[in-house]
Structure 1
Amino acid sequence: MTLSANRLSDPAVRALVTALNDNDEQAFFDALTPDATMSDDGSDRDLREWCDREIFATRGHIDVRSESHQGLSLVADYRNDTWGEMRTRWRFTVENGKVSRFETGQA
């Protein structure tokens, strides 16, 4: 069973996941702080380059399976045109209503 993005507990995470699933690059980056950072499988990455490659150019999509830590941690099935589908984990840091960091990787 999946959780609808519009039912996620944290508003900043909800905005980010909704924008990702809508392939709305502007809304996605609007949900982040200007100095936001991210990591993939434990390695820090260039956020814009990673998002272009792993989300927007490849039609990334998150189907959330569960959330914890007041909505700041997700387990989800993530898919894109490059890698297909895989179970992933996502952890978010939120500051002033926007995501300042996210960490993702295989679950």
Structure 2
Amino acid sequence: MVHELKSDSYGFQAVFAGDKTQELRCNDRDYHVMDWVILKETKWSGDEMKAGWPLVYTGRAIAALVTHILYGPMYSLPAGWVILSLKVLYRTTALESRA
């Protein structure tokens, strides 16, 4: 399964640089080990978009394989949330694109 996910610039940059290898996500997509995650960087943060800023992608994306999943409730992680361990396999940069 392939999951396309929006990612704020701050967290996206850390994954892109190789400094961050996990994603905290609501488990609303039934994630599984060996699923693909496509992180698409957004120009505006989630809070800014909630305030009315438009959804605009920067064009940068990361393709990663889910190698491990920690399911809540465990280690104070709430039920319904997961921590996805990712192995980044592909990074791309491109011109800004509108959703």
* TM-score, with structure 1 as normaliser: 0.27
Q: Rg: which structure is higher?
A: 2
Greater helix share, 1 or 2? Answer: 1
* TM-score, with structure 2 as normaliser: 0.29
